[in-house]
Structure 1
Amino acid sequence: MSIFGNNIFGNKAAGSIPAVGNADRPEAEKQKSDAEWRQELTPEEYHVLREAGTERPFTGEYWDTHTAGVYQCRACGAELFTSNEKFDSHCGWPSFWAPLAEGTVRYIHDRTLGMERVEVRCANCDSHLGHVFDGEGYGTPTDQRYCINSVSLRLVPREVEEDSATAS
């Protein structure tokens, strides 16, 4: 599957995947200090979002949620995924077959723990979200699985979205 004109899984020789969407990040999000992040986030949120940690499978708030809505970055509120692209992968973390729109996430080659993976980060605040895997055989339009930590996300149910839209 091609994302943004390049196959994100075929660029391993390049060393890293170009960041997409960082140019428009608010300056405040780019400049936030470690102390500010620690003050704003819970210890678990900080570990996952800022230190690229991982929550245990089958423990997160959204791994088995089927509520319609938009998933935002828990650190900055940027809209990242929707329930329309969420699917049951039975892996223990929320899984999506695509992000909300081009430029909402960025990709980094992750070679930690002796594995070749593609890390997914929020393009707005550079928080760690999870990883994306390709070619696992899921019956989705992209054959990709964005395996995202629940603690990285905040679900805004569709009813709340519609209520706030009519209130404006």
Structure 2
Amino acid sequence: MGQSAGDDEREPLVSESVSVSQAFEGSEDIAAARDLARLFLRDVQAVHGLPVSGRVMGMVQVMVSELVTNARKYAPGPCLLTLQIVDGTVQISVWDSSTTLPTILPPDPGRVGQHGLEIVTAVCTSFAVHREPIGKRITASVMLADDPAGAAAGQQAL
């Protein structure tokens, strides 16, 4: 994860892949997954010079928490969290061993629980579920920088 610069000026390398992955096996690891997301985004900002708003920092941690919680709750074995910077977005990808595709329930303020994917799909710019040879992978993306009005590009303010 190096920098290309002249006269000590930092310029992010567009062609460089910036990502991190970690496996999680227990429900106690959900906090560790949030920490990984926070530290990754801090490095994206400090090392690569890419803007990461405080609002996006919080949203990504919530999304990671919800996706890893679902993987740990509904799939046997470990899950794999991958965070990657792609074209000004952070892609959050969670693989788990279950072949059962998730159900995104319609909003229901009277329902207790099961709002995780509802939250994720409300704040992301893209959302996809892919079957893998073993299990499935859920990927959601969020823009790294907010616009001047405070809402991330392509998203409505919450």
TM-score, structure 1 as length reference: 0.27
Larger RCO: Structure 1 or Structure 2 (Cα < 8 Å, ≥ 6 residues apart)?
1
Between structure 1 and structure 2, the one with the greater Rg is 2
TM-score w.r.t. length of structure 2: 0.28
